[in-house]
Structure 1
């Protein structure tokens, strides 16, 4: 596939070739965080607290190596697209091997010996997370280097994240309907097809002729801190972290809210999650149309405002409100569509405006570090606060349920409002005053 120049249009076939790899990359998350603890507890009798500590340790290690993997990705991009694709093939193999063995560790150790099982699990988690991070950072950097105006950058990210949502839906359905062996097999096939199509996707202009701003430091290409030296990146990252925690808190608490506050039937729980993800996926083209008129940053601000309105309404719900909550899931899914597409497109534009395409991997290394940190911070913030307020799973007393509603609805609203104000003050206003083509506007 020839390089994509700044005047080329990124069409639907290009989007499929580039974006399909987002499906297996997103597919991984739900089994690891939802299915794996349950599988180890039920099949092997591993205590959840012990497994939780192993999962947390592996996740923290993964987060801290992301910036290093970003620098490695940059060096490969500087060589050639072929080097990146070869690196991606190795990363995909590592990811598939680690993922498969995590669910079938009996191929390596006797699962009745918990010490050996947990040691193997820790190694396999590290391998799986490393493979995932290597592949996702290289893939995200590739997309950022394709360039284009704000609308095209949104389209590129939209294809990647839209395919990712399809992967999440498949990962939530296949294990229940077909079992764990089928889940691993589907993941492997999707990963192979995604990588193969990526090799046929539009390629960045090699040699990075799109530079507009020289690097200020001669050795900056070797410096992991380069992105953090860019004030525009620090401002965008601050907004991203605030907004990410606001989105991660309800994701952490949704099943508690559904089971205890709404007291919804267990049969409806998959419908809540499925509707949320489906609406997020189908909303992406709509958000791209909004970007055409209002620009990336202002459209993202609109998504934040929509989330606040929806969760404020959810705060008034109680037992028996399962059907209205389906509407909440649909509307919040639409709102989250803006979070999936627009921040990444803003980051790609920031990299292009700074002339830092050769260092895109470093940016996405820090970006992924922040993404993973958001999930940890959300759990670390919401769950202890709930415990202090007297809530325990299964509670039915009014004060405990009120505390749950406040944590699920009010806390995300407060954080979203703070993120919206930060977006306006740190991104939209500085860009509007600094340039006739700010980050918040699409180029004509």
Structure 2
């Protein structure tokens, strides 16, 4: 009789080789509409509501900050729910499907608002939007972490997801370029509406394909751990602290530059209609260099590659100070260079978090991947929330007028606010990541322990059904 105890390690973990390209494509596809919505939320919607709809910089900055803090509450709650309730579809896919109608309604209301809006209208629909977005992103990232237990294959999964994220941003950024050629009566409203329709059409198609074609790997039922002990394991986890701290600071840095990009490009650099082209160059560069980042991470390890990426960012962002007003070609070259490692931090952080979740499972015997990814999304959102509030408050303090006339000294101050905080924060991220404690050797050991536990659990189940001791039980295979 063949039982679970006689299977090799590859059988026990359910991953006998690299995932196929088709599986990676189908899994990663929902990330495209996720990013196609997320980019305008940071880059286009705040200036649109502050300027075109007249709510003002400080009001809009405060609203977007509050909406992000709303996620601090909803992210862990939805992450725990994602871990806790399993259906015949698995642990993740039903939550992804549930998020779609919430997203579709809220995207329509946010991206196609009535002519006159109030602060209450904006904050209400942002709150609804972030509930759907959180449910989708946490479930999707957790699903990706559970597709494979392999240290480097996890980077490949998250790299594929990052490609879809960036391609979603590239595609949605082409829409404003096309819209500008039609000379609409209200350019800002037309830009935002086109992005909204892109998400409304692509999201249900992408989610439908993913849940139809990509199965979930079975996971063992977690052992019960007292709440106090489980919380203590979270608080005392140094790997978790390192990843969350780096992601929080990265969110602040990214949020600062993203929320001020249009003001910098159109007002300080006088790039006009070429502003969207800068972002296109930035993101296309990021997509092209993802394979190189993956190759580097195989040599250096994931955390050291992420640290090197932060150093690269700190060295390249100041080049923006050298771009003369109106010089679109030089500006494009700088943004393409900055985009070389644009994708490195985000997908490497997600890959690292999968390893952190395994480390936690070794310690607590709990499968809390959804909770861990909810914490990761919370830190990046909090960082971005602080960034928008800080950026718009600073713009107010230097006297910047959105859509108005600004003196050269104000525009110079805008450049400084855009560049130097991002540089300092990137250097701090590099220092934090360099001492991350889980390398490939430790991760392989963690997986060995979890695989042995899985074999032992399967063998025990067989013994209970047959009434005979299993090979694993009789041979004394250790679980730890």
Post-superposition CA distance 1:252-277 (Å, at most 9, x none) = 3333333444x333022111111111
Partner of 1:437: 442
Please tell me whether the aligned partners of residues 315 and 410 of structure 1 are also in contact (alpha carbons under 8 angstroms).
no
Displacement, 1:169? 2.1
| 1:58 matched to 2:67 | yes
Partner of 1:218: 226
Correspondence for 1:376 among 369, 378, 385: 385
Post-superposition CA distance 1:198-222 (Å, at most 9, x none) = 214543432338x9xx88x43479x
- Alpha carbons of 1:351 and 1:83: their partners in 2 closer, same or farther (altered >3 Å)? closer
Displacement, 1:320? 4.8
- Alpha carbons of 1:438 and 1:381: their partners in 2 closer, same or farther (altered >3 Å)? farther
Which of the pair has more CA radius of gyration? 2
Displacement, 1:3? 11
Post-superposition CA distance 1:22-69 (Å, at most 9, x none) = 011111123444554566678876666655554443332233211111
Correspondence for 1:416 among 384, 406, 426: 426
What aligned pairs does 1:74-153 form with structure 2 within 5 A after superposition? 74-76=83-85, 78-82=86-90, 84-104=92-112, 119-153=120-154
Partner of 2:313: 307
Post-superposition CA distance 1:376-433 (Å, at most 9, x none) = 22234445456556666654435x44433332222211111111111113x1xx346x
Q: Quick one: distance in 2 between partners of 1:153 and 1:357?
A: 20
Partner of 2:457: none
Per mean C-alpha deviation after superposition, the further-off stretch among 147-156 and 2-11 is 2-11
What aligned pairs does 1:180-329 form with structure 2 within 5 A after superposition? 183-208=195-220, 217-219=225-227, 227-261=234-268, 263-329=269-335
Q: Quick one: distance in 2 between partners of 1:220 and 1:284?
A: 41
Please tell me whether the aligned partners of residues 98 and 124 of structure 1 are also in contact (alpha carbons under 8 angstroms).
yes
Partner of 1:173: 174
Across the aligned residues of Structure 1 and Structure 2, the Cα RMSD in angstroms comes to 3.4
- Alpha carbons of 1:55 and 1:224: their partners in 2 closer, same or farther (altered >3 Å)? farther
Per mean C-alpha deviation after superposition, the further-off stretch among 358-367 and 143-152 is 143-152
Displacement, 1:357? 7.0
Q: Quick one: distance in 2 between partners of 1:35 and 1:378?
A: 15
Partner of 2:356: 350
- Alpha carbons of 1:204 and 1:103: their partners in 2 closer, same or farther (altered >3 Å)? closer
Correspondence for 1:26 among 31, 35, 40: 35
Per mean C-alpha deviation after superposition, the further-off stretch among 193-202 and 131-140 is 193-202
Q: Which segments of 5 or more consecutive residues in structure 2 lack a partner in the other structure?
A: 1-10, 180-189, 449-480
Post-superposition CA distance 1:108-152 (Å, at most 9, x none) = xxx65x5xx654544332222111111111111111112332321
- Alpha carbons of 1:246 and 1:56: their partners in 2 closer, same or farther (altered >3 Å)? closer
SS of structure 1 residue aligned to 2:367? helix
Please tell me whether the aligned partners of residues 282 and 339 of structure 2 are also in contact (alpha carbons under 8 angstroms).
yes
User: Taking structure 2 as the reference length, what is the TM-score of the superposition?
Assistant: 0.77
Per mean C-alpha deviation after superposition, the further-off stretch among 19-28 and 57-66 is 57-66
SS of structure 2 residue aligned to 1:361? helix
- Alpha carbons of 1:194 and 1:438: their partners in 2 closer, same or farther (altered >3 Å)? same
SS of structure 2 residue aligned to 1:358? coil
Displacement, 1:281? 1.7
Q: Quick one: distance in 2 between partners of 1:386 and 1:138?
A: 36
Q: Which segments of 5 or more consecutive residues in structure 1 lack a partner in the other structure?
A: none
Per mean C-alpha deviation after superposition, the further-off stretch among 236-245 and 362-371 is 236-245
SS of structure 1 residue aligned to 2:215? coil
Please tell me whether the aligned partners of residues 293 and 305 of structure 2 are also in contact (alpha carbons under 8 angstroms).
yes
Partner of 2:186: none
Partner of 2:182: none
Q: Quick one: distance in 2 between partners of 1:45 and 1:22?
A: 32
Please tell me whether the aligned partners of residues 151 and 443 of structure 2 are also in contact (alpha carbons under 8 angstroms).
no
- Alpha carbons of 1:39 and 1:297: their partners in 2 closer, same or farther (altered >3 Å)? closer
